[in-house]
Amino acid sequence: MNAPLPDVPEVRVVGLPQLTQGFDLVERLDLGLHLKVHGPLEPIAGELLARLTEEISLRGRGGAGFPFGRKLRAVAASAIRRGVRPVVVVNGSEGEPACRKDTVLLNRSPHLVLDGALLAAEALGARTLVVAVTRDSTEISIRAALAERGLSDRRGQRMRARVVRTPERMVSGEASAVVRAINGGPALPPGRRVRAAESGVGGAPTLLSNAETFAQLAVAARIGARRYSRTGTAAEPGTVLLTISGAVARPMVVEVPTGVPLRYVLQLAGAPPAPEGVLTGGYHGEWIGSAAVHEAVVSRDSLASVGGSLGAGAILPIGPDTCPLGEALRVAHWLAAESAGQCGPCRLGLPAAAGGLADVVNGGGPTALEALREVTRALKGRGACKHPDGSARFFASTLSAFTDDLAAHVLYGGCGRETQGVLPLPLPDHRDAAELTQSSERIVIDWTRCQGHGLCADVVPELIRINPDGYPSVADVVVPVQLRGRAQRAVRRCPALAMRIEQTDPPEPDRAPRPALPAAHRRELGSGPQHGLR
């Protein structure tokens, strides 16, 4: 428990391997063995390559799922319009603790990824290739692969290639953060929406996608659209790489055809036969319950139809012997600490949401729950990057998926189970995040004095909002340390002297488990994680 995943976990395959072909022979395919296993790859003209990606419905495998053909055409059009050569970037920056599929590819089959990237570069007329990575092992593997191909960043080469190292952080893998790091800046989103296809590395149009996407392109270019589409579903042909961790006997990366039942993949990793819930898509993803697990197959559309998401390909089940809200709280603290600190929703809203969830878990009652929902709603659509939106999705899914446990914590102060910490996190970062987001102060309003001036909401909107009746609604959560100064300012600015900050007892870190709810109470509160608490 509480152990981070290794750089390269166990790798399994369901059916015939495509991306993982040759993994049964060696730990890493060098260039010679790569060519023996996969065969040579001939260049493909730009229009033909775009058609190929459209025929196989290739989408980005980094989380957003954007159609690769549209991205390819957009970069080509921008380069032609501006009269400049584009740049190709392989995004191997896996900063999420639950994801290892790109790291596995770059460590064990780096030339398959480079094949796809160089194929796209040739089709676009690009002369610069950049590979962004986060880990030592990945950097060593990619540098060796470039050397085996005779590629470097020396001037005068027809194709210049280099490796850029980014920090192992959630926000550092975001496309704009990767471009910013390559351009010599910090590996953080720039705080404004910029399309890499228009202006990316060095201001040039940039084709940026993750390692698995380029590897899929290399496989499809070798075997053709018809043969590629024989595997998987008609709507989403081919295979996908999944990272399976959480409450499993064997954390692994598995290559699986689309259309395979999700429950089979979980059984392969040794997950509980009736999981309490399964987090799909990683820490920016969504929870599904046991019933949905038995309905879903591995595909973007199928998971979405049961309330889940494929996202970055991370699948994390948890068992019935751990507190799901406690597990979510650990992730919430980590998400808050991963903030780029460049916009209010990320710098202030995420710590407030993590503190609000802590208040709910520790028996804050219905008012704390409603305050958390208000904070979560306030995060959506206001961030400078996708981190606040993804985190808000995780919070909202947690509140809607585990209604029995949520009711137990809200109405009875606990669900009777300890938090075992089965979701992988970097332990030091998690502890620091918890310390940063919790405090022992709370805003209180004296309603006999409040006159509805609304100045408090202007000062600290993350904690105070104005209701339709003109009076403030205060989030009944502990004040995050980042908001302490503004909360005090809101108190001082109140003309009616109706506000104050009170000290509360901090939650006990190792509190004894609450007694379990009687079975009758649990039935009254809903029959499963798919029901909403009303």
Tell me the DSSP string of 129-184: EEEEE-SHHHHHHHHHHHHHTT-BS-TT-SSEEEEEE--S-TGGGSHHHHHHHHTT
Q: What is the pLDDT of residue 256?
A: 98
Q: From CA 247, how far away is CA 414, in angstroms rounded?
A: 21
CA 418 to mean position of chain CA atoms:
25
Burial 468-494 (b: 16+ CB within 10 A, else e): eeeebbbbbbbbbebbeebbbebbeeb
- The two tokens of residue 58 are 């290739």
- Give CA separation, 503 vs 442, 446, 474, in Å: 6, 16, 16
The answer to whether the beta carbons of residues 372 and 477 sit under 8 Å apart is yes
CA 481 to mean position of chain CA atoms:
25
Number of residues that make up the chain: 534
| Bridging pattern class, strands 441-445 and 464-466 | unpaired
Short-list 359, 234, 367, CA closest to 302 = 234
Q: What is the pLDDT of residue 477?
A: 56
Cβ partners under 8 Å of residue 260, min gap 6: 14, 15, 297, 298
Cβ partners under 8 Å of residue 61, min gap 6: 101, 209, 210, 212, 213, 216, 240, 241, 312, 313
**Cα–Cα–Cα angle for 399, 403, 405, nearest 5°?**
100
CA 531 to mean position of chain CA atoms:
24
CA 480 to mean position of chain CA atoms:
24
Q: From CA 165, how far away is CA 106, in angstroms rounded?
A: 14
- Per 3-state DSSP, the chain is made up of helix, strand and coil in percentages (nearest 5) of 45, 15, 45
Cβ partners under 8 Å of residue 232, min gap 6: 238, 239, 257, 258, 259, 299
The answer to whether the beta carbons of residues 136 and 182 sit under 8 Å apart is no
| Average pLDDT for runs of 10 along the chain of length 534 | 83 97 97 97 94 96 88 96 97 93 98 98 97 96 97 92 93 91 91 86 96 98 97 96 97 97 96 95 95 95 95 95 95 88 76 88 88 86 82 94 93 91 75 48 85 83 73 69 76 87 60 41 36 34
CA 309 to mean position of chain CA atoms:
11
Tell me the DSSP string of 495-508: TT--EEEEE-PPPP
Q: What is the pLDDT of residue 351?
A: 85
What structural domains and CATH numbers belong to the chain? 17-227 (3.40.50.11540), 231-318 (3.10.20.600)
- Give CA separation, 137 vs 33, 110, 133, 250, in Å: 20, 12, 9, 21
Q: From CA 229, how far away is CA 219, in angstroms rounded?
A: 11
Q: What is the pLDDT of residue 462?
A: 63
Q: What is the pLDDT of residue 475?
A: 59
What residue ranges in 70-115 does DSSP mark as E strands?
87-92
Using only C-alpha atoms, the chain has a radius of gyration, in whole angstroms, of 25
Q: How many CB atoms lie within 10 A of CB 310?
A: 26
pTM of the model: 0.82
β-sheet bridge partners, residue 314: 243
**Cα–Cα–Cα angle for 88, 93, 97, nearest 5°?**
160
* Residue recorded with tokens 């938090």: 419
Provide the 8-state DSSP code for 348: I
Classified as helix, coil or strand, 105 is helix
Which stretch of DSSP H or E encloses residue 255? Answer: strand 252-257
Helix and strand tally (H, E) in the chain? 21, 14
